[in-house]
């Protein structure tokens, strides 16, 4: 059983820019605006500034729960963001593997003294915060 690292969690929370925290954004909302809104749009409707340049029509993220019989599919959304279950080095062709991005960001965000458990906690915390934010914008 893996132990939770309180140090890693506090570092993850502290890793966000102070300006974002001052604006009152949750970690998930800040992560969404930083990593997802360019494609999926600020409201999650699939109309981000980059969406017109993509070959794929992006899904309306506010309809995930509705399209799943009224239940928000936490595991499926987590897997999509994480990208571990996708084929290819960068995830699916239409969705980057953000888990890999968070893994690369961990050393910079966690500092010099951290271990494998801390890195995993950092990655999971970022993804879970993002999943929680997406669940909060469901119509």
Per-residue pLDDT reduced to its tens digit, 55-65: 888 999 999 99
The candidate with the shortest Cα–Cα distance to 80, out of 93, 58, 65, 97, is 97
Chain-wide mean pLDDT for the chain?
80
The candidate with the shortest Cα–Cα distance to 58, out of 94, 97, 96, is 94
On whether residue 31 sits in a domain, the answer given is yes
pLDDT at site 130: 95
Output the pTM of the full model: 0.75
Structural domain including 43 reads: 6-136
The candidate with the shortest Cα–Cα distance to 96, out of 50, 64, 45, is 50
On whether residue 94 sits in a domain, the answer given is yes
User: How far is the C-alpha of 11 from the C-alpha of 78, rounded, in Å?
Assistant: 22
As a whole number of Å, the CA-based R_g of the chain is 15
On whether residue 1 sits in a domain, the answer given is no
Query: Is the CA virtual torsion 90, 91, 96, 97 positive or negative?
Result: negative
pLDDT at site 85: 65
Residue 96: alpha-carbon gap to chain centroid:
11
> Are 104 and 90 within 8 A, CB to CB?
no
pLDDT at site 123: 86
Q: Which residue has the higher pLDDT, 105 or 68?
A: 68
User: How far is the C-alpha of 72 from the C-alpha of 34, rounded, in Å?
Assistant: 23
Residue 2: alpha-carbon gap to chain centroid:
22
Torsions phi, psi for 28 (to 5 deg): -65, -40
**Into how many domains does the chain fold?**
1
């Amino acid at each position: 059983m893996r132990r939770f690292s309180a140090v890693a969690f506090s570092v993850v929370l502290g890793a966000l820019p102070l300006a974002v925290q001052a604006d009152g954004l949750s970690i998930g909302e800040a992560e969404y605006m930083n990593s997802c809104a360019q494609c999926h749009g600020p409201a999650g409707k699939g109309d981000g500034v980059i969406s017109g340049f993509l070959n794929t029509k992006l899904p309306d993220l506010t309809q995930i729960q509705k399209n799943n019989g009224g239940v928000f599919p936490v595991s499926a959304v987590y897997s999509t963001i994480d990208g571990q279950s996708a084929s290819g080095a960068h995830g699916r062709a239409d969705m980057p593997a953000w888990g890999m991005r968070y893994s690369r960001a961990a050393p910079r965000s966690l500092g010099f003294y951290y271990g494998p458990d801390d890195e995993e906690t950092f990655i999971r915390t970022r993804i879970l915060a993002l999943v929680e934010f997406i669940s909060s914008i469901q119509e």
